[in-house]
Amino acid sequence: MDIMKIVQFEMQSHKETIEKVINELQPVIEEACKLAVDTLNKGKKIMFCGNGGSAADAQHLAAELSGRYKKERRGLPGIALTTDTSVLTAVGNDYAYDRVFDRQVEALAQEGDLLIGISSTGNSANVINAFNMAKKMGCKTLGLSGKGGGKFNGQCDLNIVVPADVTARVQEMHILVGHTICQAIDDFVE
């Protein structure tokens, strides 16, 4: 077993992906930053959802808002729709797992809020259902996806499609994009 080769391969793969993100996605990331800043400056909230590792990212990014990212500032309304096990299991049992996020959007969203859905493939049915409900509620929608963007391409107002097919690379870039949005929020939310 040659651990050094594994480490070198993973680092090189990450480097190649981040170079593509830098070269291809800066304008859409800037647009996402403006969308998040504008939402919060209007007194609205940002909701996050995703499954598995994307659920963890949703929780992480919501915590950066309600807690803090880098600078000391007031707490901001960031809500992870992935954390309430009673809601998740009740809706999953009573309706279907595909409904666990859209029911929460219906209950919590107000016009002008932002829903950020995270999926490495862009095909998570429950996130797509949440996007559809958010639109009905008058919310903006932002997708963080990869692998070509999947169904998110036609389902959200703005979709940041990481140019990678390996789930680990997509997820690594999602947290980088999320942290970039958090930095814009730190710098420009009043």
Tell me the one-letter amino acid at 29. I
Q: Choose among 36, 19, 24: nearest CA to 188.
A: 36
Q: What is the reported pTM?
A: 0.97
Q: What is the pLDDT of residue 92?
A: 97
Q: How confident is the model at residue 1 (pLDDT cuts 50, 70, 90)?
A: low
Cα–Cα distance for residue pair 128/148, rounded to 1 Å? 16
pLDDT averaged over every residue in the chain = 97
Tell me the one-letter amino acid at 115. L
State the SS3 of the chain. CCHHHHHHHHHHHHHHHHHHHHHHCHHHHHHHHHHHHHHHHCCCCEEEEECCHHHHHHHHHHHHHHCCCCCCCCCCCEEECCCCHHHHHHHHHHCCHHHCCHHHHHHHCCCCCEEEEECCCCCCHHHHHHHHHHHHCCCEEEEEEECCCHHHHHCCCEEEEECCCCHHHHHHHHHHHHHHHHHHHHHHCC
Q: How confident is the model at residue 28 (pLDDT cuts 50, 70, 90)?
A: very high
Q: How confident is the model at residue 63 (pLDDT cuts 50, 70, 90)?
A: very high
CATH H superfamily, domain 15-188: Glucose-6-phosphate isomerase like protein; domain 1 (3.40.50.10490)
Confidence check: pLDDT of 12 > 80: yes
Share of the chain above pLDDT 90, in %: 99
Share of the chain above pLDDT 70, in %: 99
Residue recorded with tokens 């859905």: 117
Tell me the one-letter amino acid at 70. K
Cα–Cα distance for residue pair 20/48, rounded to 1 Å? 25
Cα–Cα distance for residue pair 49/118, rounded to 1 Å? 6
Are the beta carbons of 31 and 158 closer than 8 angstroms? yes
